[in-house]
Structure 1
Amino acid sequence: MRSLLIIANPGTRSFSHAMAAGAQEVLAAQGCDVVVHDLYAERFNPVQAHGESENTSSADPLVEQHCRELAQADLILVFHPNWWGQPPAILKGWIDRVFRLGTAYDYPPGVGYDGVPEGRLRAACALVFNTSNTPAAREAEVFGDPLEALWKRCVFGLCGVSNVVRRMYGPVSDSSAEQRSRWLAEVRGLVETACREPGIQR
Protein backbone atom coordinates (compact mmCIF):
# COMPACT_ATOMS: atom_id res chain seq x y z
CA MET A 1 0.00 0.00 0.00
CA ARG A 2 1.24 3.47 -0.89
CA SER A 3 0.51 6.14 1.67
CA LEU A 4 0.93 9.90 1.45
CA LEU A 5 1.35 11.78 4.73
CA ILE A 6 1.03 15.59 4.81
CA ILE A 7 1.90 17.76 7.83
CA ALA A 8 0.97 21.44 7.93
CA ASN A 9 1.96 22.93 11.25
CA PRO A 10 4.79 25.48 11.65
CA GLY A 11 5.60 24.27 15.16
CA THR A 12 8.00 21.34 14.87
CA ARG A 13 7.13 20.25 18.43
CA SER A 14 3.40 20.46 17.76
CA PHE A 15 0.88 17.76 18.51
CA SER A 16 0.30 17.54 14.75
CA HIS A 17 3.90 16.36 14.40
CA ALA A 18 3.52 13.96 17.31
CA MET A 19 0.45 12.39 15.68
CA ALA A 20 2.23 12.20 12.32
CA ALA A 21 5.23 10.48 13.91
CA GLY A 22 2.97 7.88 15.50
CA ALA A 23 1.18 7.32 12.20
CA GLN A 24 4.50 6.83 10.41
CA GLU A 25 5.51 4.16 12.90
CA VAL A 26 2.27 2.26 12.32
CA LEU A 27 2.54 2.55 8.54
CA ALA A 28 6.12 1.25 8.60
CA ALA A 29 5.15 -1.62 10.90
CA GLN A 30 2.33 -2.56 8.50
CA GLY A 31 4.77 -2.64 5.58
CA CYS A 32 3.32 0.40 3.81
CA ASP A 33 5.36 2.57 1.47
CA VAL A 34 5.26 6.00 3.11
CA VAL A 35 5.86 9.38 1.47
CA VAL A 36 6.04 12.21 4.01
CA HIS A 37 5.81 15.93 3.30
CA ASP A 38 6.14 18.56 6.01
CA LEU A 39 4.91 21.54 3.99
CA TYR A 40 6.57 24.15 6.20
CA ALA A 41 9.89 22.30 6.39
CA GLU A 42 10.11 21.93 2.63
CA ARG A 43 8.86 25.51 2.06
CA PHE A 44 6.04 24.47 -0.23
CA ASN A 45 4.87 27.52 -2.18
CA PRO A 46 1.08 27.79 -1.72
CA VAL A 47 0.64 30.62 -4.22
CA GLN A 48 -0.71 29.53 -7.59
CA ALA A 49 1.04 31.50 -10.34
CA HIS A 50 -0.82 33.22 -13.19
CA GLY A 51 0.63 30.67 -15.60
CA GLU A 52 -1.18 27.91 -13.76
CA SER A 53 -4.60 29.41 -14.47
CA GLU A 54 -5.73 26.21 -16.23
CA ASN A 55 -4.45 24.27 -13.22
CA THR A 56 -3.38 21.20 -15.16
CA SER A 57 0.41 21.57 -14.99
CA SER A 58 3.05 23.54 -13.14
CA ALA A 59 6.57 24.80 -13.75
CA ASP A 60 7.29 24.05 -10.08
CA PRO A 61 8.87 20.56 -9.88
CA LEU A 62 7.76 20.16 -6.26
CA VAL A 63 4.13 20.65 -7.25
CA GLU A 64 4.53 18.04 -10.00
CA GLN A 65 6.05 15.62 -7.49
CA HIS A 66 3.17 16.13 -5.07
CA CYS A 67 0.63 15.59 -7.87
CA ARG A 68 2.25 12.29 -8.87
CA GLU A 69 2.34 11.07 -5.29
CA LEU A 70 -1.25 12.11 -4.63
CA ALA A 71 -2.44 10.25 -7.73
CA GLN A 72 -0.53 7.10 -6.70
CA ALA A 73 -1.60 7.05 -3.05
CA ASP A 74 -3.84 4.31 -1.69
CA LEU A 75 -4.09 6.05 1.69
CA ILE A 76 -3.84 9.79 2.38
CA LEU A 77 -3.16 11.22 5.84
CA VAL A 78 -3.33 14.94 6.70
CA PHE A 79 -2.31 16.58 9.98
CA HIS A 80 -3.03 20.23 10.69
CA PRO A 81 -4.36 22.68 13.29
CA ASN A 82 -7.76 24.36 13.08
CA TRP A 83 -7.11 28.03 12.33
CA TRP A 84 -10.25 30.17 12.05
CA GLY A 85 -12.22 27.07 11.04
CA GLN A 86 -9.80 26.45 8.18
CA PRO A 87 -6.49 24.74 7.42
CA PRO A 88 -3.34 26.90 7.54
CA ALA A 89 -2.85 28.91 4.32
CA ILE A 90 0.05 26.70 3.22
CA LEU A 91 -2.24 23.66 3.25
CA LYS A 92 -5.06 25.47 1.45
CA GLY A 93 -2.53 26.44 -1.22
CA TRP A 94 -1.38 22.82 -1.42
CA ILE A 95 -4.98 21.81 -2.15
CA ASP A 96 -5.31 24.55 -4.77
CA ARG A 97 -2.16 23.51 -6.63
CA VAL A 98 -2.11 19.72 -6.14
CA PHE A 99 -5.79 18.67 -6.19
CA ARG A 100 -5.93 19.84 -9.75
CA LEU A 101 -7.88 19.07 -12.89
CA GLY A 102 -6.59 15.90 -14.51
CA THR A 103 -4.97 14.73 -11.27
CA ALA A 104 -7.66 14.72 -8.57
CA TYR A 105 -10.79 15.19 -10.69
CA ASP A 106 -12.01 15.48 -14.27
CA TYR A 107 -15.16 16.32 -16.20
CA PRO A 108 -16.95 13.67 -18.27
CA PRO A 109 -16.84 14.10 -22.06
CA GLY A 110 -19.11 16.91 -23.16
CA VAL A 111 -19.47 18.34 -19.66
CA GLY A 112 -18.25 21.90 -19.07
CA TYR A 113 -16.80 23.50 -15.98
CA ASP A 114 -20.30 24.29 -14.77
CA GLY A 115 -21.09 20.58 -14.67
CA VAL A 116 -20.47 17.92 -12.05
CA PRO A 117 -16.87 16.67 -11.95
CA GLU A 118 -15.77 13.08 -11.42
CA GLY A 119 -13.18 12.13 -8.83
CA ARG A 120 -9.94 10.56 -10.08
CA LEU A 121 -8.08 9.72 -6.90
CA ARG A 122 -7.39 6.03 -6.36
CA ALA A 123 -7.09 6.29 -2.57
CA ALA A 124 -9.52 4.02 -0.73
CA CYS A 125 -9.34 6.10 2.44
CA ALA A 126 -8.24 9.48 3.77
CA LEU A 127 -7.50 10.25 7.41
CA VAL A 128 -7.53 13.87 8.63
CA PHE A 129 -6.32 14.73 12.13
CA ASN A 130 -6.90 18.24 13.46
CA THR A 131 -5.91 20.03 16.65
CA SER A 132 -7.83 22.86 18.27
CA ASN A 133 -8.04 24.95 21.40
CA THR A 134 -11.81 25.35 21.08
CA PRO A 135 -13.91 22.99 23.24
CA ALA A 136 -15.84 20.50 21.11
CA ALA A 137 -19.26 21.69 22.29
CA ARG A 138 -18.51 25.32 21.35
CA GLU A 139 -17.01 24.24 18.01
CA ALA A 140 -20.21 22.41 17.11
CA GLU A 141 -22.70 24.92 18.51
CA VAL A 142 -21.10 28.20 17.45
CA PHE A 143 -19.01 27.36 14.40
CA GLY A 144 -20.62 24.20 13.04
CA ASP A 145 -17.28 22.44 12.50
CA PRO A 146 -16.56 23.75 8.97
CA LEU A 147 -13.52 21.48 8.59
CA GLU A 148 -15.85 18.48 8.51
CA ALA A 149 -17.58 19.70 5.34
CA LEU A 150 -14.33 20.94 3.79
CA TRP A 151 -12.48 17.65 3.95
CA LYS A 152 -15.31 15.15 3.59
CA ARG A 153 -17.39 16.84 0.89
CA CYS A 154 -15.51 19.70 -0.75
CA VAL A 155 -12.09 18.04 -1.11
CA PHE A 156 -11.97 14.26 -0.79
CA GLY A 157 -15.61 13.55 -1.60
CA LEU A 158 -15.44 15.56 -4.80
CA CYS A 159 -12.20 13.84 -5.79
CA GLY A 160 -13.50 10.29 -5.41
CA VAL A 161 -12.46 9.33 -1.87
CA SER A 162 -15.66 8.32 -0.10
CA ASN A 163 -14.12 6.84 3.06
CA VAL A 164 -12.90 9.89 4.99
CA VAL A 165 -12.16 9.59 8.70
CA ARG A 166 -11.58 12.85 10.57
CA ARG A 167 -10.79 13.55 14.20
CA MET A 168 -10.41 16.84 16.08
CA TYR A 169 -8.34 16.75 19.27
CA GLY A 170 -8.45 19.47 21.85
CA PRO A 171 -8.31 21.74 23.60
CA VAL A 172 -4.61 20.98 23.21
CA SER A 173 -3.25 23.98 25.14
CA ASP A 174 -4.28 22.68 28.57
CA SER A 175 -4.35 18.95 27.81
CA SER A 176 -2.57 16.54 30.13
CA ALA A 177 0.10 14.05 29.14
CA GLU A 178 -2.41 11.29 29.85
CA GLN A 179 -5.00 12.87 27.54
CA ARG A 180 -2.47 13.31 24.73
CA SER A 181 -1.39 9.71 25.17
CA ARG A 182 -5.00 8.56 24.71
CA TRP A 183 -5.35 10.71 21.60
CA LEU A 184 -2.13 9.30 20.14
CA ALA A 185 -3.35 5.77 20.82
CA GLU A 186 -6.57 6.52 18.93
CA VAL A 187 -4.61 7.94 15.99
CA ARG A 188 -2.42 4.85 15.83
CA GLY A 189 -5.49 2.60 15.98
CA LEU A 190 -7.25 4.43 13.16
CA VAL A 191 -4.14 4.28 10.98
CA GLU A 192 -3.72 0.59 11.63
CA THR A 193 -7.37 -0.05 10.72
CA ALA A 194 -7.00 1.95 7.51
CA CYS A 195 -3.93 -0.09 6.55
CA ARG A 196 -5.70 -3.38 7.06
CA GLU A 197 -9.18 -2.45 5.84
CA PRO A 198 -8.86 0.76 3.77
CA GLY A 199 -12.41 0.64 2.42
CA ILE A 200 -14.18 0.32 5.76
CA GLN A 201 -15.93 3.38 7.17
CA ARG A 202 -15.02 4.26 10.77
Structure 2
Amino acid sequence: MKISVILGHPYKDSFNAAIAETVVTTLKDNGHMVMFHDLAQENFDPVIPASELADDSTEDLLVLTHQKEIKTADGIIIVHPNWWGQPPAILKGWVDRILRENIAYTFPEGDDGGGLPIGLLKAKTGLVFNTSNTPKDREDIVFGDPLHRIWKDCIFDFCGVKEFDRTMFRIIAGSTSDERKQWLEEVHRMVNQYFPLKE
Protein backbone atom coordinates (compact mmCIF):
# COMPACT_ATOMS: atom_id res chain seq x y z
CA MET A 1 0.00 0.00 0.00
CA LYS A 2 1.03 3.60 -0.60
CA ILE A 3 0.74 5.67 2.56
CA SER A 4 1.01 9.46 2.72
CA VAL A 5 2.55 10.72 5.99
CA ILE A 6 2.41 14.46 6.70
CA LEU A 7 4.26 16.11 9.59
CA GLY A 8 3.22 19.62 10.59
CA HIS A 9 5.68 20.83 13.24
CA PRO A 10 8.50 23.40 12.92
CA TYR A 11 11.09 21.68 15.15
CA LYS A 12 12.98 18.77 13.67
CA ASP A 13 13.77 17.41 17.15
CA SER A 14 10.19 17.66 18.46
CA PHE A 15 8.19 14.74 19.85
CA ASN A 16 5.96 15.13 16.80
CA ALA A 17 9.01 14.38 14.66
CA ALA A 18 9.65 11.27 16.77
CA ILE A 19 6.05 10.18 16.22
CA ALA A 20 6.43 10.67 12.46
CA GLU A 21 9.69 8.71 12.46
CA THR A 22 7.99 5.83 14.29
CA VAL A 23 5.11 5.93 11.80
CA VAL A 24 7.44 5.84 8.80
CA THR A 25 9.65 3.09 10.22
CA THR A 26 6.67 0.91 11.13
CA LEU A 27 5.09 1.32 7.70
CA LYS A 28 8.34 0.46 5.91
CA ASP A 29 8.93 -2.54 8.18
CA ASN A 30 5.45 -3.73 7.21
CA GLY A 31 6.31 -3.51 3.51
CA HIS A 32 4.37 -0.39 2.60
CA MET A 33 5.51 2.41 0.30
CA VAL A 34 5.79 5.66 2.27
CA MET A 35 5.38 9.16 0.88
CA PHE A 36 6.68 11.25 3.79
CA HIS A 37 6.64 15.04 3.95
CA ASP A 38 7.96 17.23 6.76
CA LEU A 39 6.25 20.45 5.71
CA ALA A 40 8.59 22.76 7.66
CA GLN A 41 11.75 21.10 6.31
CA GLU A 42 10.33 21.33 2.78
CA ASN A 43 9.55 25.04 3.26
CA PHE A 44 6.00 24.37 2.16
CA ASP A 45 4.24 27.67 1.49
CA PRO A 46 0.85 27.54 3.27
CA VAL A 47 -0.51 30.74 1.73
CA ILE A 48 -2.83 30.05 -1.18
CA PRO A 49 -2.39 32.66 -3.94
CA ALA A 50 -5.46 34.43 -5.30
CA SER A 51 -4.91 32.94 -8.75
CA GLU A 52 -4.75 29.42 -7.33
CA LEU A 53 -7.97 29.97 -5.41
CA ALA A 54 -9.75 31.33 -8.49
CA ASP A 55 -9.12 28.51 -10.94
CA ASP A 56 -7.71 25.57 -8.91
CA SER A 57 -4.47 25.59 -10.91
CA THR A 58 -0.94 26.11 -9.65
CA GLU A 59 2.61 26.36 -10.93
CA ASP A 60 4.08 25.46 -7.52
CA LEU A 61 5.95 22.20 -8.16
CA LEU A 62 5.83 21.13 -4.52
CA VAL A 63 2.07 21.64 -4.39
CA LEU A 64 1.69 19.64 -7.61
CA THR A 65 3.78 16.82 -6.13
CA HIS A 66 1.65 16.70 -2.99
CA GLN A 67 -1.57 16.74 -5.02
CA LYS A 68 -0.38 13.91 -7.25
CA GLU A 69 0.65 11.80 -4.27
CA ILE A 70 -2.48 12.34 -2.19
CA LYS A 71 -4.64 11.13 -5.10
CA THR A 72 -2.75 7.82 -5.21
CA ALA A 73 -2.45 7.21 -1.45
CA ASP A 74 -4.17 4.16 0.02
CA GLY A 75 -3.91 5.66 3.51
CA ILE A 76 -3.11 9.03 5.09
CA ILE A 77 -1.40 9.69 8.42
CA ILE A 78 -1.17 13.22 9.84
CA VAL A 79 1.06 14.25 12.78
CA HIS A 80 0.80 17.67 14.44
CA PRO A 81 0.48 19.52 17.76
CA ASN A 82 -2.73 21.04 19.07
CA TRP A 83 -2.32 24.82 18.70
CA TRP A 84 -5.41 26.82 19.69
CA GLY A 85 -7.57 23.77 18.98
CA GLN A 86 -6.31 23.75 15.38
CA PRO A 87 -3.46 22.41 13.26
CA PRO A 88 -0.45 24.74 12.89
CA ALA A 89 -0.75 27.25 10.04
CA ILE A 90 1.59 25.32 7.75
CA LEU A 91 -0.65 22.25 7.96
CA LYS A 92 -3.86 24.25 7.58
CA GLY A 93 -2.29 25.74 4.46
CA TRP A 94 -1.47 22.24 3.23
CA VAL A 95 -5.16 21.35 3.53
CA ASP A 96 -6.12 24.55 1.70
CA ARG A 97 -3.68 24.02 -1.16
CA ILE A 98 -3.63 20.24 -1.56
CA LEU A 99 -7.15 19.03 -0.84
CA ARG A 100 -8.66 21.08 -3.64
CA GLU A 101 -11.84 20.56 -5.60
CA ASN A 102 -11.35 17.91 -8.31
CA ILE A 103 -8.33 16.63 -6.36
CA ALA A 104 -9.91 15.50 -3.08
CA TYR A 105 -13.62 16.10 -3.69
CA THR A 106 -16.17 17.27 -6.22
CA PHE A 107 -19.87 18.08 -6.42
CA PRO A 108 -22.64 16.56 -8.55
CA GLU A 109 -23.06 17.98 -12.04
CA GLY A 110 -24.93 21.26 -11.87
CA ASP A 111 -24.15 21.79 -8.18
CA ASP A 112 -22.45 25.13 -7.55
CA GLY A 113 -20.80 23.88 -4.37
CA GLY A 114 -23.69 24.29 -1.99
CA GLY A 115 -24.72 20.64 -1.93
CA LEU A 116 -23.21 17.45 -0.59
CA PRO A 117 -19.63 16.78 -1.68
CA ILE A 118 -18.43 13.62 -3.37
CA GLY A 119 -15.12 12.46 -1.92
CA LEU A 120 -12.49 11.62 -4.51
CA LEU A 121 -9.58 10.37 -2.42
CA LYS A 122 -8.59 6.76 -2.92
CA ALA A 123 -7.47 6.40 0.70
CA LYS A 124 -9.75 4.28 2.86
CA THR A 125 -8.10 5.11 6.21
CA GLY A 126 -7.00 8.35 7.84
CA LEU A 127 -5.03 8.42 11.10
CA VAL A 128 -4.10 11.50 13.11
CA PHE A 129 -1.57 11.74 15.94
CA ASN A 130 -1.70 14.89 18.07
CA THR A 131 0.19 16.30 21.04
CA SER A 132 -1.22 18.70 23.59
CA ASN A 133 -0.63 20.41 26.92
CA THR A 134 -4.36 20.62 27.65
CA PRO A 135 -5.81 18.05 30.09
CA LYS A 136 -8.40 15.73 28.53
CA ASP A 137 -11.29 16.86 30.76
CA ARG A 138 -10.71 20.52 29.87
CA GLU A 139 -10.32 19.66 26.19
CA ASP A 140 -13.61 17.77 26.12
CA ILE A 141 -15.75 19.89 28.44
CA VAL A 142 -14.54 23.42 27.70
CA PHE A 143 -13.40 23.18 24.07
CA GLY A 144 -15.32 20.18 22.74
CA ASP A 145 -12.25 18.57 21.15
CA PRO A 146 -12.35 20.61 17.92
CA LEU A 147 -9.49 18.68 16.30
CA HIS A 148 -11.59 15.54 16.22
CA ARG A 149 -14.38 17.29 14.29
CA ILE A 150 -11.92 19.06 12.00
CA TRP A 151 -10.13 15.91 10.87
CA LYS A 152 -12.90 13.32 11.02
CA ASP A 153 -15.85 15.27 9.63
CA CYS A 154 -14.61 18.47 8.02
CA ILE A 155 -11.65 16.95 6.16
CA PHE A 156 -11.45 13.15 5.87
CA ASP A 157 -15.15 12.34 5.55
CA PHE A 158 -15.61 15.32 3.21
CA CYS A 159 -12.92 13.85 0.94
CA GLY A 160 -14.24 10.29 1.05
CA VAL A 161 -11.94 8.80 3.69
CA LYS A 162 -14.39 6.87 5.89
CA GLU A 163 -12.21 4.93 8.34
CA PHE A 164 -10.75 7.31 10.90
CA ASP A 165 -8.83 7.11 14.16
CA ARG A 166 -7.00 9.68 16.21
CA THR A 167 -4.77 9.63 19.27
CA MET A 168 -3.83 12.60 21.45
CA PHE A 169 -0.72 12.40 23.62
CA ARG A 170 -0.74 14.63 26.69
CA ILE A 171 0.62 16.36 28.72
CA ILE A 172 3.78 16.90 26.62
CA ALA A 173 5.30 19.63 28.79
CA GLY A 174 7.02 17.90 31.66
CA SER A 175 6.50 14.40 30.24
CA THR A 176 9.16 11.83 31.11
CA SER A 177 11.30 9.79 28.73
CA ASP A 178 9.45 6.66 29.88
CA GLU A 179 6.09 8.25 29.05
CA ARG A 180 7.32 9.24 25.60
CA LYS A 181 8.68 5.75 25.01
CA GLN A 182 5.27 4.29 25.90
CA TRP A 183 3.54 6.78 23.62
CA LEU A 184 5.77 5.81 20.70
CA GLU A 185 4.98 2.16 21.38
CA GLU A 186 1.30 3.11 21.14
CA VAL A 187 1.98 4.79 17.78
CA HIS A 188 3.68 1.60 16.61
CA ARG A 189 0.71 -0.55 17.70
CA MET A 190 -1.83 1.76 16.08
CA VAL A 191 0.00 1.83 12.74
CA ASN A 192 0.29 -1.97 12.87
CA GLN A 193 -3.44 -2.22 13.53
CA TYR A 194 -4.46 -0.23 10.45
CA PHE A 195 -1.54 -0.95 8.13
CA PRO A 196 -0.32 -4.43 9.08
CA LEU A 197 2.52 -6.45 7.63
CA LYS A 198 1.95 -7.21 3.97
CA GLU A 199 1.56 -10.91 3.31
Q: TM-score, normalised by structure 2?
A: 0.96
Identical amino acids, percent of aligned pairs:
44
Aligned counterparts of 1:184 and 1:169: Cα–Cα separation in 2 = 10
What residue is the counterpart of 1:33 in the other structure? 33
Unmatched runs of 5 consecutive residues or more in structure 1:
198-202
Post-superposition Cα deviations, 1:3-36, rounded to whole Å, max 9, x if no partner, equal: 1110011111111111111111111111100011
Aligned counterparts of 1:158 and 1:51: Cα–Cα separation in 2 = 24
Task: Rate the CA distance shift 1:41–1:55 in 2: closer, same or farther, 3 A.
Answer: farther
Structure 2 matches for 1:187-198, cutoff 5 A? 187-196=187-196
Aligned counterparts of 1:41 and 1:141: Cα–Cα separation in 2 = 35
Amino acid at match of 1:184: L
What residue is the counterpart of 1:200 in the other structure? none
Amino acid at match of 1:69: E
Structure 2 matches for 1:36-185, cutoff 5 A? 36-54=36-54, 56-185=56-185
Unmatched runs of 5 consecutive residues or more in structure 2:
none
Structure 1 residue 55: Cα displacement: 5.2
Task: Rate the CA distance shift 1:137–1:13 in 2: closer, same or farther, 3 A.
Answer: same
3-state SS, counterpart of residue 139 of structure 2: helix
3-state SS, counterpart of residue 40 of structure 2: coil
Post-superposition Cα deviations, 1:74-133, rounded to whole Å, max 9, x if no partner, equal: 011110000000000000000000000001000111222111110000101011000001
Report if the CA contact (8 A) 1:76-1:126 is conserved: yes
Aligned counterparts of 1:42 and 1:63: Cα–Cα separation in 2 = 11
What residue is the counterpart of 1:22 in the other structure? 22
Aligned counterparts of 1:186 and 1:52: Cα–Cα separation in 2 = 39
3-state SS, counterpart of residue 110 of structure 2: coil
Report if the CA contact (8 A) 1:126-1:156 is conserved: yes
Aligned counterparts of 1:13 and 1:55: Cα–Cα separation in 2 = 38
Structure 1 residue 179: Cα displacement: 1.2
Report if the CA contact (8 A) 1:3-1:77 is conserved: yes
Q: TM-score, normalised by structure 1?
A: 0.95
